[in-house]
Amino acid sequence: MGIEVDRLDFLANKQQLHNVFTELKSLLTASGFGDRIEAAIQRLHRERMNLLVVGEFSRGKSTFINALLGSPVLPSKVNPTTATINVIVPGTESKMEMIYHDGRREEQPLPSDKINKFLEDKVTVANQQANEIRQVVLTLPGPMEEWNCTIVDTPGVNDLEDMREDVTFRYLRQADACIVLLDAHQPLSRSERAFIRDKVLANDIHRLMFVINRMDESAPMPDGEIAARLKTHVFNLLREELPDIVDPLVHAVSSKETLRAKFKSENSMWRDSFALFERELYRFLSGHATQGRLPDHADAAIGIAADGLRAVRDELSVQAGNGEEFGRQILRLEQEARQREEQLEAVSVYLDGQSIELARRLRKLVEDGFGALRERLAEQAALCDNEEDLQRLKSSISSGVRDQMQALAQELSDYKRELSRTLADRFRSLFSDEYSLPVVLGDRSLNSWQGDRSVDLGIQGVNTADASDTPGILLGYAAAGGMLGYIGAALLGPIGVAAAIVGSLIMGGKFEEERKRKAYEQAKEQAIQQLRAQIGSVIEHAREHAEHMAQTEIAPLEARFRDRIRSRLHAIRRLLQEQTDSVKLDRRSTEERADQLRALGNRLKDILENLYLIRRPS
């Protein structure tokens, strides 16, 4: 099984991993690994690339997404304007699900045509209850199904600094690529640069692609002198004002002309140019998704193959023994089985206690951090005398919320990293074969294979070398998971975070109106009270939901350990039963079984060698 696929092609690598799991299922189901492998296959099947599209009002985001989809799905007129977060999921049927902040869900089929008309009073400002909707999920067949990609369409805002924080913390963190859509008439405005600097780069997100839209309104052709000049202007501006973006990717398109040509199946130079852009976008998306999403699935396959190889080793070892040695082998397996049963009982109890401790830490961090932020912002609000002061206050709110969220994420990451080390020490024997496999089958050995100890696990500042003897695969699994996204949604989503606080302070322009009525101080005091109430609700929400948040974060780690223990326990029990039955077998049958085991072991070693190559960064 050679490694012949493009190392950065998401679909090809996903298919290769699927093939590995399928072969492991055929090889190891009889040994009790079937359920574990099937669960891994289903997790891999659900994995998709994620594309986020952001931009100010009237940049043409909906038309751009429609151009990718090849049909006018989203309402795209200047008025009405998108007011909800729309998540476009690839699927074989067309349906819509509206998910509200209070947990309600409403699902209905989409019409066969004129979907954009159907959605106008649901996802645009025409829907007066749009602020009650957390997101609208649109399941659609089409090009994104072939790409295996989800698209997130965000509401446009005139000041991107006020974009909903849950977009930043949930969708931006989960995106494999973020397209910042610009206008050919005013590319890369000051507020767009502020958003990139304060929201994106501040969260260490560099998966950006800049797309200048509406080129047909400024240039007669897609790849001419005007387009080249605009792209160079944006490139230089990014290099000058946002130097943290290394070699920014800048493209120029006409979404409107592309959509028209695609929908009517017409030839067009704009459509041809857009097709080139789509190829670049797929490569960009695919590379980040492959590096960010698939290693954990490769790790799961490595764990299964290693456990299968260990079971083969044990059975060959028992078969090779005789007399006193045979008895010692059986006794060792019986003792290990009892130990694994005790571990299975102990792991949930131990992690329940750890979940309670993590919840306590998170609750205290929110109470202390957001409590101090509330007082600091209230003092700053009391000193506001003009619009400039308000703008500074808005910036302080945004940066203050972001800092507190990052502190929460860091605490969660540190705690889970340390917990994974502790668990690895307790269950070290379960993972002894992950990086070094001292198994000799026939004339082939993996004794010399030590793995790549510098594998990047997707944790900033952490790799397997930092983890000392901790199994790196386990550590990577434990520390992954988009902590900021979960915290942002679970903790702050219900009140709209900074956007809601800023809205309270500005009060829809009421400051200016009240100043004219000589009641400015009264309006300001009201705004301060609302600010305190908003942040107070964040703290209260943390008090109520910290336990659930901690349990949700620890659950995948617990599941991984329980799966490993169950698999090992099943393999031991099966081997002990086979040895009980083996007295009925003649010598020839025993030798045939040994040959089968050696062949199985050799194939598992081939799979493991290739999985290490898949897992190793290019």
| Each residue's pLDDT tens digit, 336-364 | 888 888 888 888 888 889 999 988 998 89
pLDDT of residue 503: 52
Alpha-carbon span 169 to 179, nearest angstrom: 16
Higher pLDDT among residues 220 and 613, named by residue: 220
Lowest pLDDT segment from 80-84, 95-99, 300-304: 80-84
489 has pLDDT over 90: no
267 has pLDDT over 50: yes
> E-assigned strands of 376-529?
437-441, 444-446, 456-459, 462-463
pLDDT, tens only, 425-468: 777 766 554 433 333 333 333 333 233 322 222 222 222 222 23
Domain architecture of the chain: domains with CATH: 10-45+294-615 (no CATH), 50-293 (3.40.50.300)
202 has pLDDT over 70: no
pLDDT, tens only, 49-93: 999 998 887 788 989 999 999 999 988 765 556 667 889 999 988
Residue 26: Cβ-neighbour burial (10 angstroms; 0-12, 13-18, 19+): exposed
The overall average pLDDT reported for the chain is: 77
pLDDT of residue 388: 77
pLDDT of residue 149: 95
214 has pLDDT over 50: yes
Best-predicted range by mean pLDDT among 14-18, 183-187, 244-248, 389-393? 14-18
Residue with tokens 């998170």: 362
pLDDT of residue 494: 38
Q: How confident is the model at residue 594 (pLDDT cuts 50, 70, 90)?
A: confident
pLDDT of residue 438: 35
Q: How confident is the model at residue 223 (pLDDT cuts 50, 70, 90)?
A: confident
Residue with tokens 């039963």: 577
For residue 550, which of 361, 345, 347 has the smallest C-alpha distance? 361
Higher pLDDT among residues 23 and 245, named by residue: 23
pLDDT, tens only, 138-162: 999 989 999 999 999 887 666 554 5
Alpha-carbon span 310 to 561, nearest angstrom: 17
pLDDT of residue 481: 36
